[in-house]
Amino acid sequence: MKTLNIGLVGYGFMGRTHSNAFHDAPLFFDLPYRPVLKALCARNADRAKAFAANWGYESVETDWRALVERKDVDVIDIASSNDTHHDIAIAAAKAGKIVMCEKPLGRNAKEAEEMVAAVESAGVANTVWYNYRRVPAVVLLKQLIDEGRLGRIFHYRAKFLQDWTISQDLPQGGEGLWRLDVNIAGSGVTGDLLAHCLDTALWLNGSITDVTAMTETFIKERKHNLTGKVEPVGIDDASAVLGRFSNGSLGTFEATRYARGHKALYTLEINGERASAMWDLHDLHRIQYFDHGDEGRVRGWRNIHVTDGDHPYMDRWWVPGLQIGYEHTFIHQFADFLQALGTGTTISPTFRDALQTDYVTDAILASAKSGRWEHVKTS
């Protein structure tokens, strides 16, 4: 079996989810490559060494440019803050590396377009870690929709609710809090949380053509961790969106970090002529499914526990009825990516697929500013 040498950039939350996937995917899936954790790259050398030792990376780099130049690295995996995605991905593509990138692809669509151009002109395999596409229950939902079981779609609604930035005293910027610094993150909840809702929506229900949105920044100033000064907050704290899909259905989307009590409540619902379905990240192995074609006397919402051997991915895990969790979505994505690589293809979402999400988030932010409906660009 051929080896595939991985160079990971970033050792935060996402660096851990990806490293876990690199470890576990070959244990549970038949893969054409054996991933080797070649190098971990992060600016803080001591912490990088500790992370590398814990996860089994063979070496450490403190400058991503040195990592990209290494001849013994095949894949550059970008799990660092959003402001780094563009330059690392483009340099990696130019160096002929396979590129995997955390979401959102760019801080805006312009950055994302340049990243797409780089990987496509270099002809290198690429993917973006929109991991919720690989929840078995969400994949089952995709199968049901593609089989036409829901019929004509009327509504798609999704929300992603958190509550961790409500405190006025929370600073912005720096490690762990860069998501609050607009220069680093690009936007607030629109690019961070709503982007997940949009990526799944585009995958399940097709393209979004037009949007109208409102956003709000509830806390206007926060101390910046790097400058020590109180500075204006440039991110959107909350985002509410109406959208039109090209299949004629209506979309409603919401994301916020100000929904007290909610930590990561991503829910989605789709209503069709024949059936409806709902999914909830807090109960991620289930879908609620209502089929109007059922005999009337027993018609009702079914609660499908997506843990059986014939459910997506589940033949690879334990025994029917035993569920899996969040970290498995990354394992699935990495396994799918390697299997595709083995046959010379790639998986969705590619950089180009993820660019479409950036087009929608750009249109949302533009609409929130203009107060008008905005047309969504397509690539």
- Can you give the binding site for ligand SOE, defined by CB under 6 A? 162, 192, 196, 264
* Shorter beta-carbon distance to ligand SOE: residue 212 or 357: 357
**Least gap, CB of 281 to ligand SOE (angstroms):** 8
**Least gap, CB of 33 to ligand SOE (angstroms):** 26
Closest CA to 128 of 171, 66, 82, 64: 82
In the numeric block, the tokens 């998986």 are attached to 347
* Shorter beta-carbon distance to ligand SOE: residue 22 or 160: 160
Query: Exposure pattern of 39-76 as b/e (b: 16+ CB <10 Å)?
Result: bbbbeeeeebbebbeebebebbbeebeebbebeebbbb
**Least gap, CB of 260 to ligand SOE (angstroms):** 15
The one-letter code for the residue type at 67 is L
* Shorter beta-carbon distance to ligand SOE: residue 80 or 162: 162
**Least gap, CB of 200 to ligand SOE (angstroms):** 11
Kindly state the DSSP code that residue 70 receives in the 8-state scheme.
Answer: -
* Shorter beta-carbon distance to ligand SOE: residue 264 or 366: 264
**Least gap, CB of 14 to ligand SOE (angstroms):** 8
Q: Are strands 98-101 and 126-128 parallel, antiparallel or unpaired?
A: parallel
The one-letter code for the residue type at 174 is G
* Shorter beta-carbon distance to ligand SOE: residue 226 or 264: 264
In the numeric block, the tokens 């699935």 are attached to 332
For every residue of 259-324, DSSP letters joined together read -TT-SSEEEEEEEESSEEEEEEGGGTTEEEEEETTS-GGG--EEEEE--STTSTTGGGSSSTT---
* Shorter beta-carbon distance to ligand SOE: residue 19 or 212: 19
**Least gap, CB of 310 to ligand SOE (angstroms):** 28
